[in-house]
Amino acid sequence: MNPTFKKAVRVALGSWNPLQFAVQQQAGGKQSAEIAEWMIGIIEQYFCENEDLEPEDVADYLATIMDQELNILVEDDSDMEIGSCLCHLYQLCVAGKDAQVMDELSLMPKCDLSLCRVQEQPEGGESEDNAPQLVAAHLSGMQLHDTSNAADNSCTSEPLRELTELEQQQLHDEEDGWTVIRRGNKKR
């Protein structure tokens, strides 16, 4: 196993807001931090045991782990972004370009959960005023709200609006104990 790739996995998962939020909120119980640490080794092993992995494969694997171990459903496509990043970094490691990997890791954005806060969801799902902005995560009947205007892959915001049928189903899933990470609007 390549120590540079292990470091790459650690940095990538450390910058992944849904995973770090799940750890902070103990979505997998008191062992959430240990689960996140375990994920580093299991992702590294997944790459070593499988040839020609595609970003979709890695994203599906990450989403499965998040679901089974942390009760988190990732729906903001950040799993795909991390999967793509890990595939790219793995290919660089295989090619012996460890210095380039280290350079890219130094440029990787850090997870910044200070941009987010947890706020109780008002009864009926509607806010008394229109100030709060709905963002990309729900946890145990709570909604995560963005406290900045910055766009981020897992802390993007959208104005409050009436729920679609799919969103109503997702809220029902959350009431059953599931946590759903929703896709937000991205600036292009």
Least confident of 95-99, 127-131, 163-167: 127-131
Q: Check residue 167 and give its pLDDT.
A: 62
Same domain, 89 and 135: no
Same domain, 53 and 118: no
Element (H, E) at 81: helix 78-94
Q: How far apart (Å, rounded) are the C-alpha atoms in residues 97 and 57?
A: 23
Q: How far apart (Å, rounded) are the C-alpha atoms in residues 184 and 6?
A: 30
Handedness of CA 20, 147, 119, 124 (dihedral sign): negative
* Of the residues 91, 107, 123, the one at which a domain ends: 107
Same domain, 46 and 89: yes
Per-residue pLDDT band for 137 (boundaries 50, 70, 90) equals very low
Which tens digits make up the pLDDT trace of 79-90?
999 999 999 999
End-to-end CA distance of the chain: 38
The model's pTM is: 0.63
Same domain, 164 and 120: yes
Per-residue pLDDT band for 8 (boundaries 50, 70, 90) equals very high
Res 119 pLDDT > 60: no
Q: Is 78 a member of any domain? A: yes
What's the CA dihedral at 157, 57, 105, 21 to 10 degrees? 40
Which tens digits make up the pLDDT trace of 63-113?
999 999 998 888 888 899 999 999 999 999 999 999 999 999 999 888 877
Q: Check residue 134 and give its pLDDT.
A: 32
Res 56 pLDDT > 90: yes
Same domain, 20 and 81: yes
Same domain, 117 and 78: no
Same domain, 15 and 35: yes
Q: Check residue 164 and give its pLDDT.
A: 66
Domain coverage including residue 10 = 3-107
* Of the residues 58, 86, 107, the one at which a domain ends: 107
Residues 46 and 61: beta-carbon distance below 8 Å: yes
* Of the residues 88, 107, 126, the one at which a domain ends: 107
Residues 70 and 32: beta-carbon distance below 8 Å: yes
Closest CA to 77 of 154, 174, 1: 154
